[in-house]
Every structure is written in C-alpha cells, then in structure tokens.
Amino acid sequence: MFCCQRFQKHLWIIGGAVLFFLLAGGMMWWIFHPQPLPKFGITFSSAYARELGLSPEEVFSALAKEENVRFARIPLYWNHIEQEEGQYDWKEMDALLAIAEDYDMKITLVIGQKVPRWPECHIPSWALSLPDHERWESFSIYVQQAITRYKNSPALVRWQVENEPLFDYGVCPTIDSENLQETLALVRAQDDHPIQLTVSGELEFWWPLARMSDVLGFSLYQVTWSDTTGYFVYPISPLFYRLRVLAASFWTDQVVVSELQAEPWFTMSLGDRPLEEWYGLFDEKALRDRVHFSEEIGVSEVYLWGAEWWYYLKVHGFDGLWNEAGKIFGGQTN
C-alpha cells in the first residue's frame, strides 16, 4: 500500500513537471518563433486633416487609391457631428464610409466622448455646460443615432468605444470604469459587431480593458517629449510588447497596435518651425524602423498614426514619407 502511494506521488510529480515544461516550451516557442507579418492600416482623423488645411475626403480618397490602404480606424467626432443639440451632420462621415466601401476597406469606427487626436475629448460646447446626467443622455442619443446609421455598412468590422478611456491624458472629464461599462452596454444593445478598447502600450495595465473587449488595441510611441526630459526614447524592445500581448490574449480574442507612431511628436505649433525641420524629426528611415519594430511583436494588425501628415508634406514638396508608406501598403489585400 505504501509503495503504491509513493508511486502515485511520483507519478503526479512527473506529470506536473512534464506539463510545466510543455507549457513553458510552448510559451517560449510563441515568444521567439517568427510571427506572420501583420496587416498595416491607418488611423484617419478628419479633424486633423482639417487642422492641416486639407480636405478629409480628398486625403482619405488618395490614401485608398494611391497608397492602397485597406484597413483604417476612423473616429467619429461628436463636436463636429452635433454642433447644435439634436442637429446631426453626417455628410463628412458618410463620404468617408462611401470611399471605404468603394475600395473594399475594413473599418473600425471609434465612438465616444474621448476619441483620437488632441485634445482627446471632442465634446460639443453646448454639452460641456450640461450637468453630468444630462450630458450622458445627450451622448447616449448621439451614440444610438451613429450606430443605427453605420452598423449595416459593409466596410464596418468593429466599433471602438472611447480611446484609452482609463488613461489620464487630454482635456477631458473623468471617464471611469463604471462610465465605460455603461457606454459598452449601450453599444452592445444596438449592434453585435465586435468591440475594441484601447490602452497605452507603455503606461497602463492592460488586463482591466482586455477582459471587457473583443479586441484590445494599444498605442506604441518610441519617441515622446516632455518639459522635463525633452525628446525621450523608450528603451523598450519588441519582446516587452510581445509578452504583454501574450498575457492579454488570455482575456481578449485579438490584440492589435491601434496607434503606431509614424509622424514627429509635435512640441509646438506647426508654423513655429520650418517644414524641413519637422520632416527631419521623422523621415523615411524612421518610418521603416517603426514598421520593422512592430513586425516583431506578433500582432495581426498595425494602424499607423500620421497619414494626414504624409499627405500634407507631399503637397508641400516633401513626398518621401508618402512614397515610403506606399511601399508598406502596396500589394496588401484584405
């Protein structure tokens, strides 16, 4: 009897050790094995295009036609769509979605109070003065209107709800986990497309939003700037992100790079420096380096940040980034 118990104990130990090494070996294989190359797309901001003095429709059409962009993340700007309470202007977004459909693009629509591009929160001025509960009611109506309008677009593949909602950055009212859960419930009640949530790649825990989402997106900025340090390069390798992707995959179905830095970090107004100096801060080599870095992480999709800037440079005689980006997207299919 004693011998049988000892044998069973040793069997459990051996079995546990084998299982541990199989799991560890599988994890190490995933971490260090070359991954399939991701699909590359863009985040496209109509607000940023207008800020640069460009026509959003013209730029987006050129990206689809000339650059062969087939994946795009597009924010809906509440302050642009509903400039007056109850009066919705969908013309610009309708035009962008029509272009996307014409070119068989796959689109992630970003809806929320906090969506990409500074000042991060894009809330109509009339709504900012409302008490919180009244602003929520107006926001809820806007969200329902937007989802009803676009949920049947053949270009739509997912909704992104807010942008890095729990990351304290931007000129924004506080969005806490409870606020976010309410918005998620509102979107899910209207449509069954997958939902993407986003986090800072370097400065946030990922699991709280990973477990709420179908797709988790993270931003990847290797060069940032602050008053204290000036320009700062994160001393981080692709392995850092690869491990975070592996961990997040236990909670969510898919992890993507939602913002890959592909333009300079602007420290002052555009007109305060000659254009060639801005161009020198982020050139074709910088773009190639960022793309190569992202390819080593092991995600399925990467969305470049700065396509509007490439077009602005192109029309002002600096077409290097535009041409380099064309090499990245050229030959891609859905």
Report the distance separating Cα 143 and Cα 245, nearest Å: 30
Report the distance separating Cα 298 and Cα 291, nearest Å: 12
223, amino acid identity:
V
63, amino acid identity:
L
108, amino acid identity:
T
CA 172 to chain centre: 19
Helix (H) or strand (E) holding 162: none
What are 226's two structure tokens? 């602050």
Helix (H) or strand (E) holding 156: strand 156-161
CB 63 within 8 A of CB 327: no
Could you please report the per-residue DSSP string of 269-288?
-GGGS-HHHHHHHS-HHHHH
Report the distance separating Cα 140 and Cα 134, nearest Å: 10
The pLDDT score that the predictor gives to residue 26 is 44
Angle, CA 25 vertex, CA 22 and CA 29 arms, to 5° = 135
Provide Rg for the chain, Cα atoms.
22
Report the distance separating Cα 169 and Cα 203, nearest Å: 11
CB 213 within 8 A of CB 195: yes
Number of other residues whose CB lies within 10 A of the CB of residue 277: 10
CB 265 within 8 A of CB 225: yes
One pLDDT digit (tens) per residue for the chain, 334 residues = 555 555 555 555 555 544 444 444 444 544 555 678 999 999 999 999 999 999 999 999 999 999 999 999 999 999 999 999 999 999 999 999 999 999 999 999 999 999 999 999 999 999 999 999 999 999 999 999 999 999 999 999 999 999 999 999 999 888 999 999 999 999 999 999 999 999 999 999 999 999 999 999 999 999 888 778 888 788 899 999 999 999 999 999 999 999 999 999 999 999 999 999 999 999 999 999 999 999 999 999 999 999 999 999 999 999 999 999 999 998 777 7
Report the distance separating Cα 24 and Cα 138, nearest Å: 51
Closest CA relative to residue 213, chosen from 171, 181, 167: 181
Could you please report the per-residue DSSP string of 232-262?
EE----HHHHHHHHHHHTTTSSEEEEEEEE-
Greatest Cα pair distance in the chain: 87
CB 120 within 8 A of CB 75: no
Helix pair 307-315, 320-329: axis angle to 10 deg = 130
Give domain 35-329's CATH number out of 3.30.360.10, 3.20.20.80, 3.40.50.300, 3.40.50.410.
3.20.20.80
Closest CA relative to residue 219, chosen from 180, 248, 267, 255: 255
- Domain locations in the chain? 1-33, 35-329
Report the distance separating Cα 268 and Cα 277, nearest Å: 12
